[in-house]
Amino acid sequence: MKLFGIKVDSLLTSQTTHLVTMSTYIPEYGEEKPKIVSLDSDRRVLRELVILRESILPGKRIQPGYKVEVYAVSDGKLSSFSKARTLTIVPRILKGQNWLRGELIILARKDEPEAILVLHDVPALGKSNQDVKKELIQFLGGWGVHVNKLPVIVKNSKLSEKMKIKAKLIDIDYLLSSSLP
């Protein structure tokens, strides 16, 4: 599925009900970059796709402030990055009261960095950093990315290009900035 000319399959899961476009400040670039966020029915952020390198064509530039209602049946995994040459996968470990939770940050690049995918919905919990990293490695193994340690740089195999995502666009609304997550 494409939105503003960007393949957004990696944002889609069976829990995703909406995609929201917005912009975010990236300190490394010193400017705002567009991003698309997937939300569940409770408006929790599941995944984020930050576009570092935009198209120069007017119809393919992401316009902030749109809310797209979608219906997805399957998980898009890494299919948005099917044309990337390398993927840099970095874990983010967040501390709760009695446990640690893991997230994944994936940077896709052809020659230059193209996009960043942040996965907030990874089922990785543990009591130590090593426990969480093991769970993250198992999660990636389920997606066909077999690694021994994190962070890691992997060459992208074209497996995700063959995957078909069943999703349907239901409605597009323009949002006010006060109603964005």
More confident residue, 54 or 151: 151
List % helix, strand, coil for the chain (3-state, nearest 5): 15, 45, 40
Going from N- to C-terminal start, the domains of the chain cover: 2-173
- Give the distance, in angstroms, between the CA of residue 127 and the centroid of all CA atoms in the same chain: 26
Q: pLDDT, tens digit, for every residue of 54-112?
A: 877 766 778 888 888 898 888 888 888 888 899 999 999 999 888 999 999 999 998 88
Which pLDDT belongs to residue 82?
Answer: 84
Cβ pair 154, 169 in contact under 8 A = no
Specify the pTM.
Answer: 0.86
- Measured CA to CA, the distance from residue 56 to residue 109 in angstroms comes to 18
Tokens of 159: 């497996």
